[in-house]
Chains A and B, each alone.
Chain A
Amino acid sequence: MTARKKLLIYKILLFIFAFLIAFMPATASRSKEVNSRVIVEILGIDGSADSDKVSVTAQYVMPTQSQGATSKDTVTVEGDSLTLAVETLNTALGRRAELGHCSMVVVGSSTTPEHLGTLMTATDVTADVYLSAAEEKASDLVSDITEFMKKTGATDADFIAYGAKKAQIATNTLLGFLSDLGSASKSAYIPIVTMLDKEKGGSSGGESGGNEQQGEDGGGSGEQKDDGGGESGGGQTGMKVDKLALYNGERRVGVLDSGAARGVAWVSAPVEKGIVTADVEFDGKTIKDVSGHLLKKRASIKIEPQNNSATIKIKAYVEPNGDKFNELGSEKRAEISKIIRDAYSKSIERDVNKAFEDALEMECDPLFIGREFYRYAPEFYNNSYYPHNITVNYDIEVVLK
């Protein structure tokens, strides 16, 4: 066959191929309109091991007539199982709900980890989606968040980026949660999101166990305040993320308060920002709430099976805030720095210890001490490990910058 003939055959084949691709049923019948799609941004799941019904609430966006605009709303459906409920979602919205873009899943108080496993394996929700927990019903929280977003113009991405990087709270992804539960510690956490109403929002600045959460990053509690972007009158004005819901393999077993939640964040989460506060005694005076910005931190757990003990090591780089630091005087700078370092260390140790003790009462291990024993001393873990017998020591080093 000559090169010319070959070329001709190639051209004909290419033409047939292009024709097939362009006019094949799947291509020809596909609607090109973007407004024929519904994108689910947030998904709420309510279900329990006892009930045979699962309720799914979706916050969805739909393109509107005006260019570049979208409308946000919620819909709640119910099914005999999670997969059936998700399938019902398509019917409720009148088109296929795109779950691949979902960036947050809100978990109700009675939702089981099994539901989340099904969510990951049987639906299009991706493994990297962030989890948030509702104090009670996920459907209520999704509706409240949607209202809040409508008022302030905040997007789910803003909320997640804030939660993941700026707040001193341990966040978790779907796969991270399931992986934690599957680990030797058999425990996992999800941050609890609550909405603030205007009255509460005005007076909630100091409700975190005496640690006033203030500062540019929104404070260690992850609290956001309405800065006037919302409508006037009642209704939701902000979100608060300062507690953690703890899970074992079967269900939610309890809630860690803000102090303990910070303790978990110190050890188990890649927190980049945060506030450290402590009361400092110097020259017979007590200066309350001397605060500093966390710049970076390193945390590790060193196990000693022979002593039945584990040491939690944290090295935190903190930049003290100027006002109260200066109030302590500038003459004995080295001595003051040492006192502040010690005070910060004690504050961090208090949070971590509270996290350990509170979680132990719930038979949970969000600091993943058991996992470390399993990783590096599997024989000890299999034969002699019992969480209540482990002595936990703390080695907290604070470096002032």
Chain B
Amino acid sequence: MLAMATKMFLLPIYLLRSTGRDAYIIMAINGAADLVSLVVMLAAIKKAGDADFFELMVGLLGKIGAKIAVALIALFLFFKLNISVGETLAFYGTNVFTDFNKTLMIIVLLVFLAAAANHTLRSICRLNEFFVPIVGLCLAVLIAIVIMTSFDLANIFPALQNTGAFKHGLISHASWLGDFTPLILFVGRTKMKKHTVWFAGGAGVIGTCVALFFAIVMSAAFGNVPTLADTTTNISNILQFSMGNVYGRIDMISSILWSIAIFIEAALFSYAVCRCVAFVIGKNFHFRISLGVCAALYIVQVFALVDPVNFSAVYASVYGSAISTVFGIAAPVLALIGAVVNNKRGKQNNDNEQNRSVGDKTFIKEES
């Protein structure tokens, strides 16, 4: 949850370039929208009981309707998976290695994603538990550095001086909405006790706050010169900008944090895509499905999104934002409606059964 909410990816760079110092406000609006989705999703998980998301969809939309809905959600998840993978490749290609063979190195990532999709949701979560302390520690160190150095956070002022750019940013840079969509897979598989709800919600809130904090830092650093931000810009540059480059490789901390967060998120998206595809085709061929998804991912990344300009054109566009907004809202709402309808039907069935049993007893009495 923490990793999903920590959106320290490249998208804020595109947002920053078009919106300037107001980028953090758009980030805050999107973060708030995502948190509302999380609350709806948690409510759905709590209400669903033992029925999983696919059963809820079948109950709500019928078998064909459910398959169509899940297919669309799978496409959206694939879209999000492409964002994560595209950003990962851009990060390693521009920041880490001078000679980065994308067509070959992507295979490393695909092997990891295929392995994640072949395992259970439980195993992915257990893996995440192992990384959470590292993520937490890195976050704490980075935040401490920003606070303790004389970083000029006041450079985010004045706000909303260019309302045209702000509006454009708001409608065209919402691709990071819907990061909590993979949680549909937790419906019917998680026992939502009171503390589970609080922990999950709390992690979401903390992650969103961290993302917002770093968005503020980036907006403050590049507020005067937004056009200088590019894909090689990351949070470590900004930290060193405030304190100079005499402190060695503190950028390693943010690189570790960034890598872990995006790998976890990509693994979850990959897993979710494969499960949705399995439901749509009605076969549990996990291995073959994961290979197919990885092959599709390879084709999109290597042939379609090879140019960062294409990447930004797709993901920092009104269409990309509209898709993310629709699915970011639709998936949790569908899950919640499905859970409520399922509960009502369950109750009605129980009432009917009770009535039937009472009727049977009366009939037996009358007969006797």
Contact = CB atoms under 8 A, between A and B. Distances in A.
Contacts of B287: 1, 6, 9
B237 A127 contact: yes
Interface size on A, as a range, is 35 or more
A76 interface: no
A77 to B, nearest CB: 20
B228 A164 contact: no
Nearest to B114: A13
Interface string B120-152: 000000000000000000000000000001100
A43 to B, nearest CB: 14
B246 A160 contact: yes
Given A120-B228, A182-B224, A374-B158, A24 B104 contact: yes
A162 B228 CA distance: 28
**Chain B CB within 10 A, most for which of A6, A126, A128, A129:** A128
Contacts of A128: 237, 240-241, 244-245
B256 interface: no
Contact of A17 (B107, B228, B241): B107
A105 to B, nearest CB: 11
B230 interface: yes
B255 to A, nearest CB: 14
Contacts, number: 89
Interface string A250-271: 0000000000000000000010
19 contacts: A9-B287, A17-B111, A20-B104, A24-B104, A26-B99, A121-B228, A126-B237, A126-B245, A127-B233, A127-B237, A128-B241, A130-B245, A161-B246, A173-B240, A175-B225, A178-B224, A181-B225, A376-B157, A378-B158
Contact of B230 (A121, A171, A376): A121
Interface string B96-124: 00110100100110010000000000000
B161 interface: yes
B154 interface: yes
Grouping DSSP codes into helix (H, G, I), strand (E, B) and loop, the A interface class, with mixed when no group exceeds half, is: helix
A111 B274 CA distance: 56
Interface in A177-214: 178-183
Given A160-B245, A164-B244, A179-B221, A13 B111 contact: yes
Contact of B101 (A24, A129, A270): A24
Contacts of B240: 126-128, 173
B290 to A, nearest CB: 11
A181 B225 CA distance: 9
A129 B237 CA distance: 10
Interface in B281-315: 287
Contacts of A218: none
Nearest to A158: B246
A375 B225 contact: no
**Chain A CB within 10 A, most for which of B108, B149, B223, B246:** B246
Contacts of A171: 244
Interface residues of B, number: 30
A375 B157 contact: yes
A305 interface: no
B228 A175 contact: yes
Contacts of A176: 241
A63 interface: no
A92 interface: no
B246 A17 contact: no
A154 interface: no
A21 B224 CA distance: 43
B245 A17 contact: no
Interface string A14-42: 10010011001010001000000000000
Contacts of A21: 104, 108
Contacts of B150: 270
B246 A164 contact: yes
A387 interface: no
Pairs A-B, 3 closest by C-beta atoms: A182-B224, A128-B240, A270-B150
A120 B108 CA distance: 31
Nearest to B159: A378
Nearest to B156: A375
A157 interface: yes
B245 to A, nearest CB: 4
